[in-house]
Structure 1
Amino acid sequence: METINQLVYLKYVELIPENGLLLKFDNLPIWKNNRFNIYFTERHHDHYECISIYFKENVLNYHMIFKSLIGEQLYIEISNQLLNVWYAEYFDHIEDRNTADYLEEIEVLNFRFEKMEKTAQDWKDEYINLETTYLDLLAGNK
């Protein structure tokens, strides 16, 4: 089994023409003060890993499922035109591997992988989220 993405935090899900979804992955977690964050790769990446997936069935069946997984640590695997989505947290332990609900053995027509450079606005948004979490943590300790 070979995964497509190395960056594991699903950050964005967008509908694209021709029955497709664009998934953007990052190595930075979505900052929340009630959650432990770990890094799966080097900490500093100036790009997203983007996977455009074109589905055989109606894409709306999968759009909301992927939207609900934003912030999760996921690996995407496509082989023999079948999509599997794996939780990354326990991926190294074969006996503990687990696919995301309703996202295994899904027929796809095509997919494309590309790296998309982060914009200044992306970095600003990331900083604001981190700062907000930091301030929330400080307020909780008083």
Structure 2
Amino acid sequence: MMKILNKLVYLKKVELLANNGILLKFDNLPIWRNDRFNVYFTDRYQDYHEGISIYFKENILNYHMLFKSQIGEQLYIEVFNQYLNVWSAENFDHTEDRNTIDYLEEIEILDFKFERIEKKSADWKSEYERLEKTYLDLRNKAI
């Protein structure tokens, strides 16, 4: 049976951890861009990130780079029998349209941990600055 770990879908940050680990931080706020439609998948504002720490059996540097390339994307993380799959959250409700992310499927892991990480003022400031920049870019295009 499929077990999806996260409800918040926008991957915001990827950090290396000791012992072959990676911390993935998810949020409900998209990375604001003026060339992309922004969608909320759950309640609009959350005062926390969902953090998933994953400890890999093999060297993690390739996985670290693959996850970093997915920052800003809408993802679901699934663990089944100590194997990790990363699913695109777009079209996920339609079973026949579900897709895993290339090179991020059937990865053997040692362990994982899910936690809520409270947002700090720096997180909120960063969101505001990105939103302000997007607004100003759109305004300048209109002028």
Can you list the C-alpha shifts for 1:40-76, whole angstroms capped at 9, x where unaligned? Answer: 0000100000000000010112000000000000000
TM-score after normalising by structure 1: 0.99
The alignment-based identity, stated in percent, is 68
Can you list the C-alpha shifts for 1:21-51, whole angstroms capped at 9, x where unaligned? Answer: 0000000000000000100000010000000
Asked whether 1:105 is paired with 2:106, we answer yes
Q: Secondary structure at the match of 1:133?
A: helix
TM-score after normalising by structure 2: 0.98
Q: Which residue is equivalent to 1:42? A: 43
- Runs of 4+ residues over 6 Å off in structure 1: none
Measured in 2, the distance between the counterparts of 1:44 and 1:34 equals: 22
Measured in 1, the distance between the counterparts of 2:91 and 2:58 equals: 29
Q: Which residue is equivalent to 2:65? A: 64
* Superposition map of 1:5-16 within 5 A: 5-16=6-17
Q: Secondary structure at the match of 1:123?
A: helix
Root mean square deviation of aligned Cα:
0.4
Q: Which residue is equivalent to 1:117? A: 118
Deviation at 1:125, TM superposition (A): 0.6
Deviation at 1:2, TM superposition (A): 2.0
Q: Which residue is equivalent to 1:23? A: 24
Size of the alignment, in residue pairs? Answer: 142
Measured in 2, the distance between the counterparts of 1:96 and 1:134 equals: 33
Can you list the C-alpha shifts for 1:86-113, whole angstroms capped at 9, x where unaligned? Answer: 0001100011000000011000000000
Q: Which residue is equivalent to 2:142? A: 141
Which runs of no fewer than 5 residues in structure 2 stay unpaired?
none
Which runs of no fewer than 5 residues in structure 1 stay unpaired?
none
In structure 2, give the amino acid aligned to 1:46: D
